Structure 1
Amino acid sequence: MKSLIFASATCLATAVAAADTPELVVYTYDSFVSEWGPGPAVEEAFEAVCGCDLKFVGAGDGAALLARIKLEGARSDADVVLGLDTNLTAAAKETGLFAPVSVEADYALPITWSDTHFAPYDWGYFAFVHNADVPAPSNFEALADSDLKIVIQDPRSSTPGLGLLMWVKAAYGEDAPALWEGLSDNIVTVTKGWSEAYGLFLEGEADMVLSYTTSPAYHLIAEEDDSKSAALFDEGHYMQVEVAGKLAASDESALADQFLEFMVSDAFQSIIPTTNWMYPAVTPDSGLPQGFETLISPEKSLLLPEDEAAALRAEALEEWRAALSR
């Protein structure tokens, strides 16, 4: 009987403790929460200091995050959304679902950061990744004129896919439709997200895949494989700055603020380079891992202001869709 009473008391104490532990729900993209992504390490590090239960929820790829938040509205279980970028921040603010945030950091970004609703956690340049023994084109027009097969991501669900639209638009302006028409026969398939596209490339289904200039670092550092390269384009490369924001309807507003502050700390930022394979928004105390110095460095950086990106999104999407439907 004593053992039964003790067991019951233990279960009750455990239940009470669990009920007293606040839960922070963070929506993000699937690759972030994968076993090889930053999620597991970030969860362990934050829970060690927050006295909370950090719950990551994968919601497809980056652009799909905003669609889900719009659908759920103020009823969303999310407290924080991590994985939007500057091509989506204007649209996110227009929903009225995100609260202002105040996060101060010594950012190591190529641009000055002044956004009042979102804080950056990493950045990089889009690029087409290929096997090093495949002769790479030096610009989009050369790619369109080649027989190379590429895999890209859907701009309606993927931030790299949307980034490619903005890259072409920023580089070619009114000539973007003609370029898409030239590229259309190079495209093997369009995937929903980055993981699917990169997997197809690794399986040999395409010569090149839309990814990042930093992607070869993964193969070099994690696999000791130097067979992957990123093509350097004359037009320049479009920059992506990934951000996180707090939902105004969050039940854990203070905890969400604590997470955003933690996000720019060394404990978080030191995880990014060798798990998310991007440049950290704040340079870690240990610096960048050996191998990052081998990556290509675009001579020209392209990035549309968030309002301009939002204004051009529908037009760029229609140009892309029209070319691929022919």
Structure 2
Amino acid sequence: MVKSFSLALAVLVAGFSGAGYAQDKPTLTAYTYDGFAAEWGPGPLLKAGFEATCNCTLNWVAADSSIGTLRRVQLEGATTEADVLVGLDTAIAGEARATGLFADHGLTLTGLDLPEDWSDSQFVPFDYSHFAFMHDTDTMPVPPKNFEELISLPEDVKIVIQDPRSATPGLGLLLWVKAAYGDRAPEIWAGLKPHILTITREWSESYSLFLEGEADMVLSYTTSPAYHIFDEDDHTIKAALFNEGHFPQIEVAGILKSSDQPELAAQFLAYLASPEGQKAIPTTNWMFPVVDLGADLDPSFADLPQPTKTLTLSEEDIIANSGAWIDEMLAAVQ
């Protein structure tokens, strides 16, 4: 009886106040790329985990790419509905910062495990990997050890890469070549031209061509083999490690200055970088977490070979020169 009375009272109270309560429950709107928000991506897990702590609603709004999310908030400006942007990376963070649309997050980030030190006042990291070319050991048991060896292979060895204007991996490759070869970059691009099967708009198009056997190698990440190990028990897809080093991708999230929920936005970014939030990342976004998860990191990541050398370029250098570097690359390969 007591239990039934309590339930009836709860329903009665909800009838009078439920609408007002729902209106008082804040909503945090996060722009991200489509793979992140997809049902198989980390978005749903992060939504459930964060909503359990915040008494709020987390609303994902997806664009076709991380560059697309930035372009959207640039177009919308101060009128954007976004409170946070999730999925930029360090290659475009400088451009995002220069828009003046992002606020300081105000968080003290400790215990981060990244390829480089982190001290950014506006962007919070949430995953990372290094760019690399995938190969199938059944068809290419011995991959090239650097770009010059790749160039020297027979011209019927084909690679698939992404457009640096629309896909962050494509931009990452551009920066990788520039960081490794400097002024020799046009020479490397010209050497790669005969091997390029196609340049796709997005990563997924490239990777599909590789998996379908249309190309021998595809630009992806050193963590990509973890997916095949975890989901397919396939150990034949490997990342070719280059001895000149690899360029990293560190994905980040930032708070929009125009947000009417800045404290909730900061709370979400703190959750995203926390061990609890980070558990959602590896086997959904197929990247390394930014904190040491210990035994909570899936074994599929345990023995992945990783670069011994990480290449970098300064944010200032990227902002000042990326446009010219893209023109340089396109002139060499088209």
TM class by shorter chain equals: over 0.9
Q: Which residue of 2 aligns with 1:80?
A: 84
| Residue-by-residue CA offset, 1:70-128 (whole Å, 9 max, x unaligned) | 11111111110111111111111111100011222310112111111111111110000
Cα distance in 2 for residues equivalent to 1:56 and 1:223: 29
Cα distance in 1 for residues equivalent to 2:15 and 2:81: 27
Contact 1:105 1:282 in 2 (8 A): no
> AA paired with 1:312?
N
Cα distance in 2 for residues equivalent to 1:217 and 1:194: 17
Q: Which residue of 2 aligns with 1:216?
A: 225
Say if 2:63 is the partner of 1:59: yes
> AA paired with 1:274?
T
Q: Which residue of 2 aligns with 1:46?
A: 50
Aligned-pair distance for 1:167? Answer: 0.1
- Structure 1's unaligned 5+ residue stretches are 1-6
Aligned-pair distance for 1:36? Answer: 1.6
Aligned-pair distance for 1:287? Answer: 4.4
Q: Which residue of 1 aligns with 2:214?
A: 205
Say if 2:131 is the partner of 1:122: no
| Residue-by-residue CA offset, 1:14-56 (whole Å, 9 max, x unaligned) | 5433322211111111111122211111111111111111111
Relative to the length of structure 2, the TM-score reads 0.91
The within-5 A match list for 1:232-243 is: 232-243=241-252
Cα distance in 1 for residues equivalent to 2:27 and 2:272: 17
Aligned-pair distance for 1:12? Answer: 7.4
Q: Which residue of 2 aligns with 1:136?
A: 143
Q: Which residue of 2 aligns with 1:101?
A: 105
The more displaced of 113-122 and 151-160 is: 151-160
Aligned-pair distance for 1:282? Answer: 1.1
Q: Could you say what the CA RMSD is over the residues aligned between the two structures, in angstroms? A: 1.9
* Partner residue of 1:150 out of 159, 163, 171: 159
SS in 1 for 2:58: strand
Relative to the length of structure 1, the TM-score reads 0.93
Cα distance in 2 for residues equivalent to 1:320 and 1:64: 21
The more displaced of 282-291 and 34-43 is: 282-291
The within-5 A match list for 1:1-326 is: 13-103=17-107, 104-133=109-138, 134=140, 135-146=142-153, 147-284=156-293, 286-325=295-334
Cα distance in 2 for residues equivalent to 1:24 and 1:227: 41
Q: Which residue of 1 aligns with 2:3?
A: none
Aligned-pair distance for 1:286? Answer: 3.1
The more displaced of 142-151 and 105-114 is: 142-151
Identical amino acids, percent of aligned pairs: 51
Pair 304,287 (structure 1): closer, same or farther in 2 beyond 3 Å: farther
Cα distance in 2 for residues equivalent to 1:52 and 1:36: 22
Moved over 4 A (4+): 9-14
SS in 2 for 1:87: helix
The more displaced of 142-151 and 169-178 is: 142-151
Cα distance in 1 for residues equivalent to 2:16 and 2:239: 56
The more displaced of 160-169 and 20-29 is: 20-29
Aligned-pair distance for 1:269? Answer: 0.7
Aligned-pair distance for 1:65? Answer: 2.1
> AA paired with 2:277?
F
Pair 205,101 (structure 1): closer, same or farther in 2 beyond 3 Å: same
SS in 1 for 2:302: helix
> AA paired with 2:104?
P
Cα distance in 2 for residues equivalent to 1:140 and 1:64: 29
Aligned-pair distance for 1:169? Answer: 0.3
